[in-house]
Amino acid sequence: MWQVYSLHTLSILGIAQVKYHEGTPVDFFASAFRVGFFDQAGLLVLPFTAIGLVWLERNKVDKRFLLYSWIIASLLLTKNDLLGIDIFMDRFLTFFIESLVVAGGIGAFAVLQFLDARVGRAIERHPET
């Protein structure tokens, strides 16, 4: 309603953020004009994300494609400057990192499950200690 009243159209192309291409481009490392992916995500999330994605694929979890699509969609939104859209890249980076954190949580679960199995087998072999 507000958009029709203020812009006299339903098209989102007249919104100031789209019209003036608000947002800062995202790159792997920060610079004076770009937001750094590694600075925002942190180095601890990335290895656990990789472990989580491998664990999901290895165990053929039914809903794994939901997480894959979330990661891919948020990555495309983050790098929309490559598609010529140039809006909110730094804001979409937050959504991309959220999807990586979920995959990283699955990776942390996989590591703990692996360690639990190893410790459990060690205790079974040497119950007297």
* φ, ψ (nearest 5 deg) of residue 87: -135, 140
The strand pair at 26-27 and 35-36 is best described as: parallel
**Strand stretches in the chain, DSSP E:** 26-27, 35-36
Residue 129: pLDDT over 70: no
- pLDDT at position 113 is 95
Distance CA 116, CA 120 (A): 6
Q: For the segment 65-82, what is each residue's pLDDT rounded down to a tens digit?
A: 999 999 999 999 998 888
At 29-38, the pLDDT tens digits run 777 778 888 8
What angle, rounded to 10 degrees, do the helices at 89-125 and 64-78 form? Answer: 150
| pTM reported for the whole predicted model | 0.78
β partners of residue 35:
26
Average pLDDT over residues 1-9: 73
**Closest alpha carbon to 102 in 127, 81, 74:** 74
